Every structure is written in structure tokens, then in C-alpha cells.
Structure 1
Amino acid sequence: MNKFWVILSHTYLSKLKAKPFIISTIISLLFVVALANIQSIIDLFTDDEVDQIAVIDETNTLFVPLTTNVEAASNDLELVEFDGTVEEGKDAVINEEYNALLVITLNDKQLPEASYYANNISDTGDQILLEQQVQQLKVALATRYSGIDEKALMEINEPVTFQATALDETAKTEEELNQARGIVYVMLFVLYITVMSYGQLIMTDVANEKSSRVMELLVSSAPAVTHMFAKILGIALLGLTQVGSIIILGIILIKSKQDEYMGGIFEYLGFQDISPAVYVYAIIFFLLGYLVYATIAAMLGSLVSRVEDTGQMMLPLIFLIMIAFFIAMFGLEAPDSTIVKVTSFIPFFSPMIMFMRVGMLDIPTWEVMVSIGIIVLSILLFAYIGAKVYKGGVLLYGRSSSLKDFKKALALSKKDS
């Protein structure tokens, strides 16, 4: 058992001191700080100047109502009546006296039309706003000419009241579903990125030790199974250290700016009212998902002798994680669909998909327990097979990038025992 802790601590401390880990952790922490101050950063780069739009109103009647509508819709736009010709207005825009020129005319039906001139029309914000306001004026005039009562028309076009109510008392409301969807979406990304990153780290670490022949010394000093699980748990602690530091910093920033975070995107993502059980399940399924993929990654890593070959061996794991992620994304909109229910009990997919279901729905506890039980049994099965393959795979040298090498690794494992 002492050898297990020696290998675990060596794996953890060596990776903890490595420059890639330190740099990636610092970048992640800076990203969290930037995210916490995103509004201040946006304000820093936001131009507070009001865009001035020159308006030539050839109808002599629409400038005042258009100005009133624009002022009600935006504080960043100012309409200025221009007394010159269209060509003079274009020249004023070219000389940057105005941001754009709007020319309003009437067509044969006495309804407004508009032409918009700007040095650059790639920024469509002002253009879309003005188009919408001119459209409103057109509707108002067309309604008046046709003799239709404007109030009646507004009532006709007013959106219908449509309220969805769940009869099941345990079902979540639409507001609760939107909040759960936000927090689950964020956590799925975290689970996806961390499982993939640290699974790759385990595989490359094993391959790197084999390529340098360090593995032969390690295996001779400790059983291969001990070495495999010590490495898996050592890198797991490394991942928890990085993720934990990010979470702790996030909590500190949230508490320090709690008043600023009330409402807005913070409320939309559901961080304010989410159940503590969701966070507990997030930790449980994160650890279980890591162990499932880490055990397989260590097993596959033992089959390759060069770090360059790990990319091809990692492909099956990447595909499995991507499939789980895409099904979970689909499940955010249809958490009760059959494919989501079925895949939530498949060990490769359930860490993401069952967690998504837990966050989105009030599912029976026994379903969650069955899913967790299947994952645990699968981890034990993968660990048993992985230990056999790892035991022979660490002694398997030469170019290897095929899953056919399983048989060779198992044969070497039997000979070694």
C-alpha cells in the first residue's frame, strides 16, 4: 500500500509543478475573473457617443413621429433634420459629420419609403432600428387610409396569452426549467472539457513513461494494477485541485459582488435558485464519469509505446464523450424523450445524461440510484479488464495504434502472472 501512495503522490506533485498545469490554471482563473467583471469590461470598450443620423424628410410630416419612436426605442441614436440636398447629405456622411443619412419619401400609394446611406453598412444596428421605426409609421398610415380602427388592429396583433401549467405537482414550472437548463448547460460543458482533458493526460502520461523505459522500473518495483490506479487517482486529485480552485475563486467573486449579480444573466442561468441537490449530483456524476473514462484511457495508454500514437487511440473515447454531450444537449430541449431515458442508463453516457435529467426533471430516486449502480459496476468491470490489459500492455513495445493489441496485452499479462 505504501507503493500505491508513493506513486500517487509522485504523479500528483509532478503534474502540479509542471508548467502546462500552472499556465492552464492561471489562464482559467483569469477567465473566471474576467467573466465576473464582464459588464465592466464591456463598458470599458463600449463607445458612449450617440450616433447622429441626418434625416431628409421629403414628406414634411414624418420626421417628428419618427424621432419620437426612435427616442423611445434607443438612447444611443439621435435624429437630426437635414435641410440640404441628398448629395450634400451624402458628402456630410463621407466627411463624418454624421454617422448616416436617412431619406424618407412617399410612394404612389402615399406610404413611406426610406433610403439609408452610410460609409459602412456592416454595422446593421442603427439600420435595423430605423427600418423597424419606418415600418411602424407605414403600418399606422396604411391603417388610417384604409379606415381600420388602430386600437382594434393593435388588439388583433397583440400576442395571444398562452400559459403552460403542469398538472403533476412535482413537475417544474417553465421558469424553473429555464433556470435548470442554464446551470445544467454550464456544468455539462465543465464535465465534457475536464473528462476529455484529464483522460488525455492519463493516456499521454502512461505512453510517455513507456517511451522513456521508465515503465519497466516502475512495474518491477510495484504491481501494474497498483501503478494504474495510483496514476488514475493522482491525476483525479490534480483535476479536483484545478477545478476546485476555479470554483472557490468563483464563489469568492460571487459573494463579493452579490448585489451586482442579482438578476441578469446570473439569474437567467439559474445560479440563484438552483437546488443544492443538483450540485451534489454534479460532483457525484463528475467523479463517476472521470473514473469510467480514466480507467479506459489508462488501459489504452498502456497499449502505445509512443506519445504520437495516443491521438489515434484516444479517438474512441473522444467519440463516446462527444455522443454523450450531443445527446445531453438534445435532452435540454426534450428531457423526456426515449433516447434520453435509454442512454441515461448506458455507463458511457449516463454521467452526462442522467445528470442532465436530474437537473431538468423530478425523476424517481430509484432511477438515479440504478444509473449510479450501473456506472459503479461498469467501473469495476473496466478496472478488472483494464488491470489485465495494463499489466501486459506496459510490457508491449513497438509501434502500436490498434485495438487489436488487446490480445497481445492479455497474453503478456497471463505469462507475467
Structure 2
Amino acid sequence: MNKLWIVTMETFLRQIKSWSFVLLILGPFLMFGISIGAGYMGAQSNQGADKIAVISTQPQLRNSFIKSNKDDVNKSVTDKKTATKKMNHNKLAGYLELEIVSGKVSAHYTGTTSLGTGTKSRINNYLMQTQQQLNLANAKLTTGQIKTLQQQPVLKESIKKSAGTANIAKQLSFWITVVMVYIILITYTTITAQEIASEKGTKIMEIIFSSTTAVKYFLGKIFGVMLVILTQVLIYLLGGWGAYVFAQNSSLTKPFMHEYQSLITSVLKNLLSVNLIYLLLGVVIYTILAAFSGALVAKAEDASKAAQPVIMLNLAAFFITFPFQNNLDSMVVKVLSYIPFFSTYFMPLRIINNDASTLEIVLSIVILALSIVLLAGYIGKIYQGLMLQTDDSSFWKRFKRGVSYTK
């Protein structure tokens, strides 16, 4: 048992000290930081560029507009000369001239681009309301007549926001889950297959097998990779939590988080669930198969090709999920959610859409876990026979020799 953990820790430490692991860990956080930084610098450089100035010889009219449209207005600009200068330096979108002549409100906008739909609508609403107030004042109506004219129609809405949010959350959860599983599987199957293949035919393997069993050495390799995976997932969870807290409190992202809070919460709930178990078990079973694939190469020079069979299987499982994301009643989905190598993709798809019962989830996990144990035990037994073969024979000949080695 001591030798098993020596191999495990040696594999684990060698992997986490590599530059590839460091870049793999830092990649998502660097992208998040760059996105936030770019957004902040863009907001700073364009600060005020989307606002307009309001110019009027009637201060009351100007102040009234600013009061009702303060988010659209640059309050510091009060004259046309300054507005034109700022507009030419991309510090202002344009300026709006307001005036009342002979009881009629008029506005003239000058800018580098057309008014946005929202801003234009707010300006028109303001002009209509102001004109209506002037009309009422000039008409000299009684209080009763004014109340009659101010009657407004009533529009009621009954919208089930949760249903729409839930559907969007399911779609986002699906894509995030399958892409995350795919990337992690590709990464670790490649790492494992190349590490095993690089040892193929070396003298050191004969020395290792003389001091410990092939099963212990093989399991030590698998356990080491599993520790690396757990380390990565743990770092992502802690880092993700930190990024989430930052996004909730940052002035740059706080409005977005507040607006889509229910959607974000639903997506996180789908990701931080039993789907994580499928992610971990899926990586383990693909890693074991990658180790087997690495042991089957003819020589160490073929290490770069070792992961190709496993990558092709992963690609197949990844792309097969796409046609069925909106067809969960298909028998193909239900069957593949129990089959190892495919259940890692298909059962999370059913879980996200509330299409799998607790019994079905447990049964699928048991089948996947049992498959991992049986596959690891079997490959461990033939591992020495596979690794000590150095002749450049066909795949099936090497496989048959490996199997016969345990008899």
C-alpha cells in the first residue's frame, strides 16, 4: 500500500508542478480578469460618450428635462460651443436644444449619430407631457374638466417570468455542462495517455515492476491523476465563488448581476449538483481508458498519438448530445444515460431538465462507478504485459499478448 501512495503522490506532484497545469488553472481566471478589465477601461474611456447635453434659454425647461432624464444627460454642459467641442472629441453623443415659442414646445437634436430608440422615445414622451401641460394651462379649464382629460386607459399583464427564466437556465446549464465536461476530459485523457505512453519500453519499467506489482503502479497513476482533477475542481469552485462575490459587489457588474440574478442562481444550482459527480466519474473512466490506450502504443515516440482513440470516443459522445437536447423523451437518451462513457453527458442533460428520477440517477451512478472499478482492475492486471511489449506489431497482437500475460 505504501508503494501505491508513493506512485500516487509522485504522479500528482509532477502534474501540478507542470506549466500546462498552471496555465490550465489560471486560464479561466485570466479570461475573467481580462474581460472585467477591458470592460472597465472601455467604460472609462467612453464615459459620457453616450450622453447628451441639454441647452435652453429657459432654465426651468432645461431643469425639468434633466430631472426626468438624468441618466441620459451630461449636466455640466450648458452651451452649444462647449457641447460641440466635447462632441468632436467623442466626449458627448450630441446636444438637445429646447425652447417654447408661442405656447409650443420644440426640440432640435444635433449629434454624431442618430438618437437611440430608448432615448428618442423618452424625449418624445417628455415633449408630449410638457406640451399637454401648456395646452391645459392655456385652455383655462376647470378642475373637473382637467381630471376628465387626464383619464388614462389601463393595461394589465400576467407574465410567468419563472417559466421563461427556467427554460433559458436549462439551455445555459446544458451548454456549460457539456462544454466543461468535454474540455476537462480532452485535457486529462491527453495528459494520461501521453504520460503512460512515454514510459513504454523504457528500462525503468522493468525495475519498477520488479519492486511492485503492475496493479499498484497502474492504480497509483490513476489515483494521482484523480487528485490533480480534484485539485482543479476545488480551485475552480473557490475561485468561482470569489468571482461571483466580486461580480455582485463590483460597480461594473453589479447591475448585470441584479438584473439576471434569478437566471444566474438557476444555472449555478444546475451546475453545483449531482452533475459534479458525473463530471468527476466521467473524467476517471475516460482517464483509465486513456491509460490503456497509452499502454497499447508500440513505442514511446508514439505518445502524441496515444490519446486519439479516447478523444474520438469523447468527441462522439459530445456531438451526439446536440440533437437530443430538446428531445429528452427519445429512447436513445434514456439508454445512453446508463451506458458508461455516454452517461457523463446524457444523464446531466436529463437532470437539468428534471427528466430523471432519484432512482434512475442512483442506478446510473452505480453502473458508472462499478464500470470504473471493473475496468481499472482488469487493465491493472494486464498492464505489465502491455507496458513491456516493445515490438512494432499490430494493435490486436499487442492486445492479445497483454491479455495472455495474466494467464
TM-score normalised by L of structure 1: 0.64
Q: For 1:317-356, list aligned pairs within 5 A.
A: 317-356=310-349
Q: Kindly indicate whether the alpha-carbon contact (under 8 Å) linking 1:180 and 1:270 is maintained by their aligned counterparts in 2.
A: no
1:370 maps to 363
Which residue is equivalent to 1:247? 237
Query: For residue 174 of structure 2, what is the aligned residue in structure 1?
Result: 184
Q: Is the 8 A contact 1:347 1:378 kept in 2?
A: yes
Instruction: Tell me if structure 2 keeps the 8 A contact 1:303–1:394.
Output: yes
Alignment-derived partner of residue 13 in structure 1: 13
**Does the CA contact (< 8 Å) of 2:318 and 2:345 recur in 1?**
yes
Query: What is the alpha-carbon distance in structure 1 between the residues aligned to residue 160 and residue 262 of structure 2?
Result: 21
- 1:184 CA displacement: 2.8
Taking the TM superposition and a 5 Å limit, the aligned residue runs for 1:229-240 are 229-240=219-230
Kindly indicate whether the alpha-carbon contact (under 8 Å) linking 1:327 and 1:340 is maintained by their aligned counterparts in 2.
no
Q: Which residue of 1 aligns with 2:2?
A: 2
CA shift for structure 1 position 6: 0.6
Please report how far the alpha carbon of residue 256 of structure 1 lies from its aligned counterpart in structure 2 after TM superposition. Answer: 2.1
Q: Secondary structure at the match of 2:376?
A: helix
Aligned to 1:204: 194
Report how far residue 254 of structure 1 moved. 1.1
Supply the distance in 2 between the matched residues of 1:176 and 1:366 (Cα, whole angstroms). 24
Is the 1:183–1:269 Cα contact (8 Å) retained in structure 2? Answer: no
> Greater CA radius of gyration, 1 or 2?
2
Contact 2:293–2:309 (8 Å) recurs in 1 = no
Is there any run of 5+ residues in structure 1 with no aligned partner, and where?
51-74, 76-125, 131-160, 166-171
- State the Cα distance separating 1:357 from its structure 2 match: 1.1
Give yes or no for contact 1:225–1:390 (8 Å, CA) kept in 2.
Answer: yes
Q: Per-residue displacement from partner, 1:2-27 (whole Å, max 9, x unpaired)?
A: 01111101111112222332233333
Q: Pick from 288, 297, 304: which aligns with 1:295?
A: 288
Q: Whose RCO is larger (CA < 8 A, sep 6+)?
A: 2
Distance 1:409 1:24, change over 3 A: same
Is 1:256 paired with 2:246? yes
Match in the other structure for 1:32? 32
Matches within 5 A, 1:247-286: 247-259=237-249, 260-261=253-254, 263=256, 267=260, 270-274=263-267, 276=269, 278-286=271-279
Which residue identity is paired with 1:208?
A: S
Contact 2:385/2:405 (8 A) holds in 1: yes
Q: Given that residues 183 and 270 in structure 1 are in contact (C-alpha distance below 8 angstroms), is that contact kept between their aligned partners in structure 2?
A: no
Q: 2:203 aligns with which of 209, 213, 218?
A: 213
Secondary structure in 2 aligned to 1:280? coil
Distance 1:269 1:311 in 2: 45
Structure 2: gaps spanning 5 or more residues = 51-71, 73-112, 118-156
- AA matched with 1:385: Y
Paired residues of 1:305 and 1:398 also in contact (CA < 8 A): yes
Shift of 1:258: 0.9
List per-residue Cα deviations over 1:95-135 (Å, max 9, x = no partner). xxxxxxxxxxxxxxxxxxxxxxxxxxxxxxx99x99xxxxx
Q: Which amino acid aligns with 2:247?
A: K
Q: Secondary structure at the match of 1:257?
A: helix
2:383 and 2:402 in contact (8 A); partners too: yes
Residues in 2 aligned to 1:404 and 1:267: alpha-carbon distance in whole angstroms: 58
Q: Is the 8 A contact 2:194 2:307 kept in 1?
A: no
Compute the TM-score of the two structures, normalised by the length of structure 2. Answer: 0.66
Within a 5 Å distance, the mapping from 1:75-224 to structure 2 comes to 173-224=163-214
Corresponding residue SS for 1:334: coil
Give the alignment's Cα RMSD to 1 decimal: 3.6
The letter for the 2-side match of 1:291 is V
Give 1:278 deviation, angstroms: 4.7
Q: Aligned partners of 1:6, 1:266: CA distance in 2, in Å?
A: 51
More moved, 331-340 vs 258-267 = 258-267
Of 232-241 and 310-319, more deviation after overlay is shown by 310-319
C-alpha distance in structure 1 between counterparts of 2:43 and 2:266, whole Å = 28
Residue in 1 that maps onto 2:391: 398
